Amino acid sequence: MSDNKPVRRSSLVSDAVTSWDDAFTHVLWRAQNAVHRRVQEALDELGVTATQLGLAVHLDQLGPLSAADLSRGFHIAPQSVGTALNRLEKADWVRRRTHPVHGRVVLYELTATGLAGVARGRQAMAATNAGVTADLSAAETAQLIELLRKVTVGIDGAQGPMTSAWPVRRG
């Protein structure tokens, strides 16, 4: 005759296994959620998400890019990039233009409103970074950044500079 009492899985796991709450992936997930909340709070007044600001910042840094370029560069689903760019377009942060050489390719570029928004977004993110890392020393912050980059490269591989798949030929 069997005892029908439920057995807790954790009672079957060896003490040598890290507890759920202490596992790297769980701690990173909690930290990511906490930081994401702070970032979004800082961006609420701009009316954009962290993803939208990130795309706009890279358009500022790199110039006009296609949605496919941005998707590849950030390992973000094309649909997510398309949605983010459409919202930025409705907010007058970006505009579409046809690629000057490859007419079927649509490039996104920042508008004057978008440039101003990126500048305000950079300021908001600098303040958020300072607040989030306030309990860390400069050395600890640098070490944490480097370790997180190692984790990312270990999963996604090394990321080269983001470039357009459809460069404009000059001369």
pLDDT in tens, 142-161: 999 999 999 988 988 887 66
Give which of 55, 42, 58 is closest to 129, Cα–Cα. Answer: 42
Q: Give me the phi and psi of 105, to 5 degrees please.
A: -85, 130
CATH number, domain containing residue 103: 1.10.10.10
Q: How many domains does the chain have?
A: 1
Whether the predicted pLDDT of 141 surpasses 80: yes
Q: Is residue 101 very low, low, confident or very high in pLDDT (cuts 50, 70, 90)?
A: confident
Residue 4 lies in a domain: no
Provide the whole-model pTM.
0.79
Which residues are within 8 A (CB) of 169 and not within 5 positions of it... i.e. 6 or more apart?
101
Name residue, tokens 């909690």.
30
Residue 13 lies in a domain: no
Name residue, tokens 């970074």.
129
CA 157 to CA 66: how far, in whole Å? 22
Mean residue pLDDT across the chain: 87
Q: Which residue has the higher pLDDT, 59 or 75?
A: 59
Residue 114 lies in a domain: yes
Structural domain that includes position 27: 20-153
Name residue, tokens 């607040």.
131
Position 133 scores a pLDDT of 97
77-to-14, 51, 82, 92, 169 alpha-carbon distances in Å? 39, 12, 9, 23, 28
Q: Is residue 18 very low, low, confident or very high in pLDDT (cuts 50, 70, 90)?
A: low
Whether the predicted pLDDT of 171 surpasses 50: no
Residue 96 lies in a domain: yes
Whether the predicted pLDDT of 51 surpasses 80: yes
Long-range CB contacts for residues 7-15, cutoff 8 Å, separation at least 24: none
| Residue at 18: amino acid letter | T
